[in-house]
Amino acid sequence: MIQIKSDPNDPSGVDGFGLSDFQQEMIVSITTAGAIVGSLLAGSLAETWGRHPVLTSASICFIFGAGGMAFAPNYEILLVGRAVVGLSVGAASHTVPLYLAEVLVLCDSSATSHMQSLQNNL
């Protein structure tokens, strides 16, 4: 777990970034802001490139963003990683329902009825 606001002088040995309240708020909210921007961009990208390439790109960007967050040496890199993850989540959450709707049309009717019954039971 990342300790983003622990005291560097703490004898427990857990060092954090020592962030201010504003910096913590930015780390939390940049992901949501990125998701909003990603979902707004995903529609035109999916129309231009196609649904599958957009989903693949979003997955790759998510991996890089997660890696950036995991190995972030400072606040700025952590913030960029969170923004990239937010963009990826927004793009995927906008594109996945469109892609599934296209794929289910190509499937036989029994697969579609199973998906509908599963959705109704949840």
Per-residue pLDDT, 7: 56
Say if 75 falls within a structural domain.
yes
Say if 122 falls within a structural domain.
no
Total of domains in the chain:
1
Say if 27 falls within a structural domain.
no
pLDDT reading at 1 higher than 50: no
Do 104 and 111 touch, CB atoms closer than 8 A? Answer: yes
Per-residue pLDDT, 24: 87
Per-residue pLDDT, 26: 93
Least confident stretch, 37-41, 76-80, 100-104, 108-112: 108-112
Say if 24 falls within a structural domain.
no
Q: For residues 120 and 117, what is the distance between their CA atoms, to the nearest angstrom?
A: 5
* Domain around 79: 34-111
Say if 15 falls within a structural domain.
no
Could you tell me the pTM of the whole model? 0.75
pLDDT digits (tens, 9 = 90+) for 75-102: 899 999 999 999 999 999 999 888 887 7
Say if 43 falls within a structural domain.
yes
Mean pLDDT of the chain: 82
Say if 6 falls within a structural domain.
no
Say if 8 falls within a structural domain.
no
